[in-house]
Amino acid sequence: MSNRWIACDWGTSSLRVWAMDGAEVLDSAQSGRGMGTLTPGEFPEALAELLTPDWHGPVIACGMVGARQGWVEAPYASVPCSALPEGLTRAPGDRDVYIIPGVSQDSPADVMRGEETQVAGFLALNPGWDGILCLPGTHTKWVHVSAGEIVSFKTVMSGEVFALLTKQSVLRHSMKDDWDDETFAAAVADTLSRPERLISDLFALRAGDLLHNQPHARSRLSGLLIGAELAATRAYWLGQQVAVIGADALSRAYVAALGAQGAPATQAKGDAVTLAGLTAAWRRWKDPK
């Protein structure tokens, strides 16, 4: 029986696919045709345009492709649950496309789609690991993992707020590419100790630039927001084993911020864990227990 299959990570803003033979990557491709850019009818063609005739086997997909506004809604599994919940949803169409369920939490209300597959991949690569996984991004997830299950999680929109403020707000006029680690660290400490100041510290970035040519506004804004995030998630990371999974530069910023708070965190690559999670889902699809 063939071990050929296609791994697919389909988020809001991008689509990535890998031609696989078991756990081996044969080829890969990507496009900007994320869920957010597509109507339901456009999904089959957006996928097909990335695949060549020598890509074989079923497609195992995770991410926003399974949202209500996606190709087909894949129901949520509810915590506590396996990071790789049972039951794939087949997308309508000729090709065999199976979508991994997202995970929801009833109270406090929260949802994830895609990150559960990264959690499953991290656990596949680190069997028996217990602790907190932090997955920074547009919507950063903090996930409490124990005995192979997702126990609880919390989403923080710090990445989206950072993007809106740096690109669309009045602060955009003061954003330069002059990153400074010390400014970042001081800002993290500022909002961690005085989180109530965040909302009034924002405009000071603009005024400090206008009046005093104050540099490093981007580093300070990033630090203020990550400090606020750490203040909001203290119950998650304090005294816990923490691993940060994501893009390299952003992950390093989180590891540095946590380390300064006496919370040493390890770092794992986002791509590797996504692929490991999709591979675990494919194995179970191929050989259900």
Q: Which is nearer to a copy of itself, 50 or 161 (CB)?
A: 161
Residues 148 and 83: beta-carbon distance below 8 Å = yes
Q: Which stretch binds a copy of itself (CB under 8 A): 17-25, 43-51, 89-97, 151-159?
A: 151-159
Q: Rounded to the nearest 5 degrees, what angle is found at the Cα of 15, between the Cα atoms of 166 and 150?
A: 80
Q: Which stretch binds a copy of itself (CB under 8 A): 122-130, 164-172, 177-185, 273-281?
A: 164-172
Residues 57 and 2: beta-carbon distance below 8 Å = yes
Q: Does 39 interact with a copy of itself (rule: CB under 8 A)?
A: no
Identify the residue among 51, 157, 256, 260 touching a copy of itself (CB under 8 A): 157
Burial of 51 (0-12, 13-18, 19+ CB in 10 A): middle
Residues 221-240 that bind a copy of itself (CB under 8 A): 225, 228-229, 231-234
Q: Does 40 interact with a copy of itself (rule: CB under 8 A)?
A: no
Length of the chain counted residue by residue: 289
215-231: burial string, b at 16+ Cβ within 10 Å, e else: ebbbbbbbbbbbbbbbb
Identify the residue among 41, 108, 128, 262 touching a copy of itself (CB under 8 A): 108
Q: Alpha-carbon distance 177 to 215, whole Å?
A: 10
Minimum distance, C-beta of residue 92 to a copy of itself, in the bound complex (Å): 22
Q: Does 284 interact with a copy of itself (rule: CB under 8 A)?
A: no
Q: Which stretch binds a copy of itself (CB under 8 A): 22-30, 100-108, 244-252, 275-283?
A: 100-108
Q: Which is nearer to a copy of itself, 227 or 270 (CB)?
A: 227
* Residue 218 to residues 9, 172, 193, Cα–Cα distance (Å): 30, 9, 20
Residues 35 and 70: beta-carbon distance below 8 Å = yes
Count of residues that interact with a copy of itself, criterion CB under 8 A: 45
DSSP state for residue 147 in the 8-state scheme = T
Q: Does 210 interact with a copy of itself (rule: CB under 8 A)?
A: yes
Q: Alpha-carbon distance 154 to 146, whole Å?
A: 15
Q: Does 204 interact with a copy of itself (rule: CB under 8 A)?
A: yes
Q: Which is nearer to a copy of itself, 109 or 249 (CB)?
A: 109
3-state secondary structure of 289: coil
Minimum distance, C-beta of residue 232 to a copy of itself, in the bound complex (Å): 4
Which residue ranges make up the site for a copy of itself (CB under 8 A)? 68, 76, 104-106, 108-111, 139, 154-158, 160-161, 164-165, 168-170, 195-200, 202-204, 206-208, 210-212, 214, 225, 228-229, 231-234
